[in-house]
Structure 1
Amino acid sequence: MNIKFVIKGVFSAAVFFSVSSHAQQQLADRILKDERLQRVKEMGYEILKTGFNAGDGYQQVWARDMNTFVTHSCDVMPQNEVREALLGFLKFQGFDGNMPGGYEAVPATRKADNYHTQSRYDMPGFLFHKNTVETDQETSVIQAFYKYIQATGDKSILNEVVNGKTVFERLAFALDYLMKWKFNESYGLLWGATTTDWGDVQPLHDPSVNGTKYDEYSAPAIDVYDNSMFLIALDNFIEMSSDSLQKKYWRDIHEKVKENIRKHLWDEEQQKFIPHIYINFDPFEGEDFDESEIFYHGGTAVAIQAGVLTPSEISVSLAKMVANVKVSGARSIGLTLYPPYPEGSFHNQGFEPYIYQNGGDWTWFGGRMITALAENGFYEEAYEHLQPMIDRAIANDGFYEWYSVDGKPHGSGIFRGSAGVLMEAIDKLEYWAKQQRGKE
Structure 2
Amino acid sequence: MKKYLLLFSAVFCLLQLQSTAQVADKAALASSIRADTRLDTIQARAIQLLTGFSAGTAYDEVWIRDFNTFIKGSLKIQPKEKVRNMLLMFFKIQGEDGNIVDGVVDSTKANGGYQYRYSALLPGWAAHKNTVETDQESSLVQAVRKYTDVTGDKTILFERIGAKTILQRMEESFSYILKNRWSEKYGLVKGATTIDWGDVQPEKGWGVAINAHTKWAIDIYDNAMFVMAINDFLAMKPQSYKTQQDWAKLASTIKANVRKHLWMPEAQKYRPHLYLNGSPFSKTFEEDKILYSGGSVCAILAGFNTPEEIQQINLQIVAAASKEKYATIGFTVYPPYPESEFPNMLPYSYQNGGDWTWFGGRMVHGLIKHKLIKEAYEELMPMVDRAIAHQGFYEWYNVQTGEAKGSGDFRGEAGVLYDAAESLKQWAAKN
| TM-score calculated relative to the size of structure 2 | 0.96
Read off the aligned partner of 1:284 and give its amino acid letter: F
Deviations 1:289-334 (A, max 9, x none): 3101000000001100111111100111111111111123342010
Counterpart of 1:44 in structure 2: which amino acid? A
Contact kept, 8 Å, 1:336 with 1:359, in 2: the verdict is: yes
Partner deviation per Cα, 1:82-140 (whole Å, 9 max, x = no partner): 01100010111000000001101133xx6667735333455442111100001000000
CA offset digits 1:185-218 (Å, max 9, x no partner): 111110000000000101125x3x2x00011111
Q: CA separation in 1, counterparts of 2:164 and 2:17? A: 61
- Asked if structure 2 preserves the Cα contact closer than 8 Å seen for 1:295 and 1:337, the reply is yes
Look up the match of 1:294: 290
| Contact preservation (8 Å) 1:204, 1:217 | yes
1:226 to 219, 222, 241: 222
| 1:40 to partner: Cα distance | 0.3
| Kept in 2: contact 1:112–1:119 (CA 8 A) | no
The answer on 1:175 being equivalent to 2:174 is yes
Q: Distance in 2 between matches of 1:136 and 1:282?
A: 21
How much has 1:246 moved relative to structure 2? 2.7
CA 1:223–1:60: 2 relative to 1, 3 Å: same
Q: Give the match for residue 420 of structure 2.
A: 425
Alignment deviations for residues 38-66 of structure 1 (CA, whole Å, 9 cap, x no partner): 110000000001x1011111110101000
Per-residue CA deviations over 1:379-401 (Å, capped at 9, x if unaligned) read: 00000001110101110111110
Taking a change above 3 Å as real, the CA distance of residues 369 and 342 of structure 1, as seen in their structure-2 partners, is: same
Letter in 2 for 1:419: A
3-state SS of paired residue (2:126): strand
Of the three residues 333, 358, 361, the one matched with 1:364 is 358
Partner of 1:276: 273
**Structure 1, gaps ≥5 residues long:** none
Change (3 A) 1:113 1:369: closer
2:147 counterpart letter in structure 1: Y
Q: Do structure 1's residue 29 and structure 2's residue 25 form an aligned pair?
A: no
* Residue type of the alignment partner of 2:281: F
Q: In 2, distance between residues paired with 1:74 and 1:20? A: 36
Aligned-partner Cα distance in 2 for 1:295–1:347: 19
Cα distance in structure 2, aligned partners of 1:120 and 1:346: 36
Query: Could you say which residue in structure 1 is the equivalent of 2:65?
Result: 64
Distance 1:85 1:352, change over 3 A: same
CA-based RMSD: 1.5
| Structure 1 letter corresponding to 2:296 | T
Matched, 1:354 2:348: yes
Distance in 2 (alpha carbons) for counterparts of 1:71 and 1:429: 15
1:328 aligns with 2:319: no
TM-score, normalised relative to structure 1: 0.94
State the match for 1:398 in structure 2. 392
User: 1:106-185 maps to which residues of 2 (within 5 A)?
Assistant: 106-107=107-108, 115-120=114-119, 123-185=122-184
Aligned length, in residue pairs: 427
Query: Quick one: distance in 2 between partners of 1:247 and 1:270?
Result: 39
Q: Distance in 1 between matches of 2:110 and 2:406?
A: 26
Closer, same or farther: CA 259–234 of 1 in aligned 2, 3 Å = same
* Matches of 1:7 and 1:133, distance apart in 2: 63
Q: How far does the alpha carbon of each residue in 1:209-234 deviate from its partner, in whole angstroms, 9 at most, with x for none? A: 2x000111110000000000011000
Matched, 1:319 2:283: no
The secondary structure found in structure 2 opposite 1:402 is strand
The answer as to whether partners of 2:92 and 2:119 remain within 8 angstroms in 1 is no
**Partner SS, residue 12 of structure 1:** helix
Q: Which amino acid aligns with 1:329?
A: K
Q: How far did 1:248 drift?
A: 7.4
**CA offsets per residue over residues 2-38 of structure 1, 9 Å max, x none?**
1111001000000001111100000000000100101
In the alignment, structure 1 residue 253 sits paired with structure 2 residue 250:
yes
Unaligned runs of 5+ in 2: none
CA contact (8 A) 1:344 1:352 kept: no
Name the amino acid aligned to 1:311: P
| Contact 1:203–1:346 (Cα < 8 Å) also in 2 | yes
Contact 1:70 1:147 in 2 (8 A): yes
Q: 1:404-415 to 2 correspondence within 5 Å?
A: 404-405=398-399, 406-415=401-410
Task: Answer whether contact 2:329 2:360 (CA < 8 A) is retained.
Answer: yes
SS of alignment partner, residue 292 of structure 1: helix
Are positions 1:416 and 2:411 aligned together?
A: yes
Q: Distance in 1 between matches of 2:138 and 2:100?
A: 9
Among the aligned pairs, what percent are the same residue? 44
Structure 2 counterpart of 1:306, one-letter code: A
Give the direction of change, closer, same or farther, for the CA distance of 1:60–1:202 in structure 2 (3 Å limit): same
Contact 1:238 1:247 in 2 (8 A): no
Could you tell me which residue of structure 2 aligns to residue 4 of structure 1? Answer: 6
Is residue 93–residue 121 contact of structure 2 (8 Å, CA) maintained in 1? no
Q: Is residue 39 from structure 1 mapped to residue 48 from structure 2 by the alignment?
A: no
| 2:93 match | 92
Task: Tell me which residue corresponds to 2:186.
Answer: 187
Q: 2:93, 2:118 within 8 Å by CA — same for their partners in 1?
A: no
Deviation at 1:79, TM superposition (A): 1.2
